[in-house]
Amino acid sequence: MIYGDDRSLQAARARAYALAESGRFDNGNAVQQALIAEGWSNAGRALESDYARKAIGERCRAARAH
């Protein structure tokens, strides 16, 4: 059961990174809202770590710079 949960969180994080790299979002909060709108019920848990939030923020900024 733990492995399935880990995979679902990893999938949500991967989607969050893809959204962040799209250049359509300014920050992690906007990405999290987009995940929730897409139906990712575990978006909050997937992005609760400081590392994930920082990585998403950096990807948002990098994508917006181009």
Q: List the one residue out of 56, 29, 63 whose CA is nearest residue 44.
A: 29
How does residue 4 score in pLDDT terms, banded at 50, 70 and 90? low
Domain count of the fold of the chain:
1
Residue 29 is encoded by which pair of tokens?
Answer: 């909060």
Q: 35-47: per-residue pLDDT in tens?
A: 999 999 999 999 9
Q: 9-63: per-residue pLDDT in tens?
A: 999 999 999 999 999 999 999 999 999 999 999 999 999 999 999 999 999 999 9
The reported pTM is 0.89
Range of the domain at 11: 2-65
